[in-house]
Amino acid sequence: MKKIWIGTLAALLLCACATISRNTVRTVSTTDDFSDFVTLTTAVPDAILEIRYFSTYNFVGTRIDGYLEPTALFTRRAADSLRAVSDELKAKGYRIKIFDAYRPQNAVDHFVRWAANVPDTLMKQYFYPDLDKSVLFEQEYIMEKSGHTRGSTVDLTLFDMATERELDMGGTFDWFGPESHPDFCGNPDTGEYTGDNSKSPAGRSITPEQFERRMILRRAMLNHGFKALDSEWWHFTLRDEPYPDTYFTFPVRQLD
């Protein structure tokens, strides 16, 4: 009798788990509808653009599929929030500089093909000198889906209006390594600089000034509805993004 009861209980638990699993699976969709997108510099006129994936200065070393023009696109809701970020930072003497915003799915597919081609290490010395390219999937530097493709994620840095130069943040955009983490050499929750560089495989470090610049950007983004990523100091996603389950496919080009 005991064996029958245990078997029945196990079956019920398996059924319950299956039901929970079915109910928590999120359905994603793809579309080429750009009607709710805006050209970012129209919504945020003070933003400076340096669209790396339209150029050859990126971790792949070639122009990325889907980038037809050197512009940045964003959902209207995210653009409104970024305008507030820009206004706050401008009052402090900074402008925002955008490296990437909306990223079409075929650009992500381009990254995936490049990562699978392990011998292609053209830009290794600039973006991932401490890593063997074969670990990029395993360590999730390259993934088959990106939040950028949902249209409310942005990669950016600070531009100093007084010096008319991009601020030195202690590391380049798209650097693959722990030096890019917001908690590198400090605590992003408190803004405290600790100097702890133990996670750097090559013993690299950043200064208190470089850490504070990362925090200035981070605080402004969090103040206006964005959330940070724990592996990239330059990467932020709107918390209340309008299309959390939609991956867009239209190319990056100037919108009418």
Q: For residue 212, indicate whether it is catalytic.
A: no
Catalytic residue among 88, 164, 209, 232: 232
Tell me the C-alpha distance between 51 and 65, whole Å.
13
Q: Scanning the structure block, which residue is given the tokens 């942005």?
A: 154
CA angle at 52 for the pair 246 and 174, rounded to the nearest 5°: 80
SS3 labels along the chain:
CHHHHHHHHHHHHHHHHHHHHHHHCCCCEEECCCCCEEEHHHHCCCCEECCHHHCCCCCCCCCCCCECCCCCEEEHHHHHHHHHHHHHHHHCCEEEEEEECCCCHHHHHHHHHHHHCCCCCCCHHHHCCCCCHHHCCCCCCCCCCCHHHHCCEEEEEEEECCCCEECCCCCCCCCCCHHHCCCCCEECCCCEECCCCCCCCCCCCCCHHHHHHHHHHHHHHHHCCEEEECCEEEEEEECCCCCCCEEECCCECCCC
Residues annotated catalytic, as ranges: 232
